[in-house]
Chain A
Amino acid sequence: MNTKNYIRLEFPSQSVNEGFARGAVACFAAQLDPTLEELGDIKTVVSEAVTNCIVHAYPDTLGKVLVKARILEENTLELVIRDWGRGIPDIEKARQPMYTTGGADRSGMGFTIMESFMDSLRVRSAPGKGTTVTLRRKISLRSGRL
């Protein structure tokens, strides 16, 4: 699919950047004229994916996080969240609801929420090399608009 517009955000895996990342992506996505609920969903999945990088990819170090947002044809938003961290040994397991390696501070619902809020979710990961999460969501065209 052709890219109509895009942004790239790169930042170190400091948790203070979670709010910035979801806010910046939401501002970019606003040009698709999403509903408040759609905008909330986009913010939520960015927050989940970036938190995964911070908590799981770089548990004891700071590393680079890259967030790419693209507007594709048919009013579709694509988000790519990438890190160069530890990687996920078992993606199937990581995607299961309530599964977490993060202890009592984490709910294990990150991937479940990403999956239920987006049309598609793809996870690619290699131990020691990093993880790339790709999410797509078609923003509905509202009536009364061309």
Chain B
Amino acid sequence: MKVLTSFKNGLLVLYFEGELDHHESRDVAQRLERILEEYLPRDCAMDLSGLRFMDSSGIAVILRVYRRMKEMGGRAWVENPGTQPLRVLDASGIDRVVKINVSEGVRS
């Protein structure tokens, strides 16, 4: 999985691209923590529009970013998940903790 970033006015956007499973998750979680340390953002959006597949390993990754942002006094949320990642997000009940913005038209 690739992670692209954009940073403006304290808002860091993390673009997840590819597939996020257990094989990828440990490495991805470490990369994301390094990125957060580097930018120290006020807000962090995880944009999943480029994510073709995600399983429950991805839930753990998203929760780690969320918790890290909370520790730093910031906010984190999820944006634009495609059909498959959204099914997993819904089934996990993570939306009770992390806000998920679903934009119509991005659904794949």
Judge whether A90 is part of the interface by a CB distance below 8 angstroms. Answer: no
Count how many chain A residues have C-beta atoms less than 8 Å from C-beta atoms of the other chain: 28
A51 with B57: CB separation less than 8 A? yes
Q: Once bound together, how far apart are the Cα atoms of A22 and B54, in whole Å?
A: 12
Judge whether B42 is part of the interface by a CB distance below 8 angstroms. Answer: no
Judge whether A104 is part of the interface by a CB distance below 8 angstroms. Answer: yes
Judge whether B99 is part of the interface by a CB distance below 8 angstroms. Answer: no
Q: Which one, B25, B26, B56, B83, contacts A109 given CB within 8 A?
A: B56
Q: Once bound together, how far apart are the Cα atoms of A86 and B21, in whole Å?
A: 22
A47 with B21: CB separation less than 8 A? yes
B26 with A113: CB separation less than 8 A? no
Judge whether A61 is part of the interface by a CB distance below 8 angstroms. Answer: no
Judge whether A79 is part of the interface by a CB distance below 8 angstroms. Answer: no
0 or 1 for each of B67-108: is its CB under 8 Å from A? (1 = yes) = 000000000000000011001100111000000000000000
Q: Which residues on B sit within 8 Å (CB–CB) of A110?
A: 55-56
- Give residues 71-112 of A contacting B (CB, 8 Å): 97, 104-110, 112
Judge whether A28 is part of the interface by a CB distance below 8 angstroms. Answer: no
How far in angstroms is the closest Cβ of chain A from B106? Answer: 15
Q: Once bound together, how far apart are the Cα atoms of A41 and B83, in whole Å?
A: 10
Smallest Cβ-Cβ distance to B60: which chain A residue: A107
Q: Which residues on A sit within 8 Å (CB–CB) of B19?
A: 19
Given A37-B87, A48-B56, A109 contacting B92 (CB threshold 8 A) = yes
> Interface centre among B25, B84, B88, B93, by most A CB within 10 Å?
B88
Q: A105-B29, A113-B88, A113-B91 are in contact. List 17 more A-B contacts (CB 8 A).
A: A18-B21, A18-B22, A37-B87, A40-B87, A43-B84, A44-B84, A48-B56, A51-B57, A105-B60, A107-B63, A108-B56, A110-B55, A110-B56, A112-B92, A113-B55, A113-B92, A117-B87
A-B contact pairs, 24 of them (CB 8 A): A15-B23, A19-B19, A40-B53, A44-B53, A44-B55, A44-B84, A44-B87, A47-B21, A47-B22, A47-B53, A51-B22, A104-B64, A105-B25, A105-B26, A106-B56, A106-B60, A107-B60, A109-B56, A110-B55, A110-B56, A112-B91, A112-B92, A113-B88, A117-B91
